[in-house]
Amino acid sequence: MSRIEELYYEVKADKWFKRFAVFCRVALAASFIPAGYIKIMGERFAAGLPSNNPLGHYFDALHLTGYYYAFIGVAQIITAILLLIPRTALLGALMYFCFIVNICVLTYATRFDGTRGVTMLLLANLFLLIWDYDRLKYILPFKQPKTAPQVLKKPLGRRLRIIFFAGSFAVLAFIIVGSFYLYEIVPGNSEAECRNQCTSSKNPAACEVFCDCIYKQGQPLDSCLATFNKAKDIRKPDKK
């Protein structure tokens, strides 16, 4: 057994990591239950998001897909239930991963303000998949030992716990702070939020043009970004 696998089984036997895995399962399930319920009831998801918002366009179209919309909601509820049951938690984590990767790419593509939270959910999901590596490794395209290794009973050092949880907080802080500098301009969750960023923008006039393009004209995000960049390039005539 390699040292990495030894360390993995030591982590699996540690009560603090077991509790963290349970926390991740509950958190992921809690994120899908209300989202799935809204879809099953036939209500538009994120009702407060304007239709002219880039992500609002998507939610409007998704809401009009009929029973497919309800199907997604049922699938999310089933995924949440599977996550909450220990014997089916791995299946729930695999199903959740298919959802959350799509959602994460979608939020980044539309520059949605909720990208931070979605990224955290993706990381929690990845932790659960790694947590069940001893079961997943048999379907991975890697050479496996002929016999399964025995679970080690060696107690896990306190230092590794501190490194892991401190590292987790550092990653969360990086996501929260780094996301503020990820884009030069974002549509925000409303027209007011979009215009609020114009006061601190290097190009306030171009920012206003961008917000008008999004919320007044209802144009696609790429078109409004192109309009924004074009407005930045227009220099004011020199005063004589």
What are the pLDDT digits (tens) for 147-161? 455 554 555 567 788
pLDDT value for 47: 84
pLDDT value for 240: 42
Each domain of the chain, given as residue ranges in start order, spans: 3-181, 191-233
d(CA 156, CA 49): 46
Tell me which residues of the chain have a pLDDT lower than 50.
Answer: 147, 152, 238-240
Collapsed DSSP state (helix, strand, coil) of residue 21 = helix
d(CA 154, CA 167): 23
pLDDT value for 131: 94
What are the pLDDT digits (tens) for 73-89? 999 999 999 999 999 99
Give this prediction's pTM. Answer: 0.87
